[in-house]
Amino acid sequence: QPYSIEKLLNSATSFLDEKLITTFSSVLQDRRKEQYWYSHETDIVRMLLMEENGGVYLDTDQYLVKPLPITLENVLGWQDPDHKMINGAAMIFTQHNEFLRSTLHKAMELVTFHYDPNNWGIVGPNLLTSQYQKLQNTNEGDV
Q: pTM score, two decimals?
A: 0.91
| CA distance linking residue 131 with residue 110, whole number of Å | 13
Look at residue 1 in the predicted model and tell me its pLDDT.
62
Look at residue 107 in the predicted model and tell me its pLDDT.
97
10-residue averages of pLDDT along the chain (143 residues): 81 88 94 95 95 94 93 93 91 96 96 96 96 86 68
DSSP states of 64-128 as a string? -SSPPPTT--SEEEESSTTS--EEEEEEEE-TT-HHHHHHHHHHHHHHHHS--TT-TTTTTHHHH
Look at residue 65 in the predicted model and tell me its pLDDT.
95
